[in-house]
Amino acid sequence: MFLARLVSTARSFSTSAVASFPKLKSHSGTKKRWKAIASGKFKRAHANHSHLNMTKRPGRKNNLNQTAYSSPTQTAILKKLLPYA
């Protein structure tokens, strides 16, 4: 009698929650630097554009201002580092 009541009050968990176990962690440094776009690639900003700009040519500063996109090799690595992106 007691055993039947124990079974009936047991919590039922969804199968979708069990299927996604264990959760994967995203790489924190990659999260801060890369953003996923709709095509499946990733985009990032160029470094060295924020300070000490007096000695840099205007063309160089313009190029540093543009968005950089991931290559196919980088995209494969980034998909592992950011599994939910």
Q: What are the structural domain ranges in the chain?
A: 26-81
* Predicted pLDDT of residue 84: 95
* Predicted pLDDT of residue 17: 54
The CATH architecture one would assign to domain 26-81 is: Irregular (4.10)
C-alpha pair distances (Å), 23 with each of 9, 48, 76 = 28, 35, 19
* Predicted pLDDT of residue 13: 62
Give 10-residue mean pLDDT values along the chain (85 residues): 58 61 94 97 97 97 98 98 95
* Predicted pLDDT of residue 2: 58
C-alpha pair distances (Å), 24 with each of 15, 31, 58, 81, 83 = 18, 14, 43, 9, 7
* Predicted pLDDT of residue 29: 97
The whole-angstrom separation of Cα 43 and Cα 31 is 11
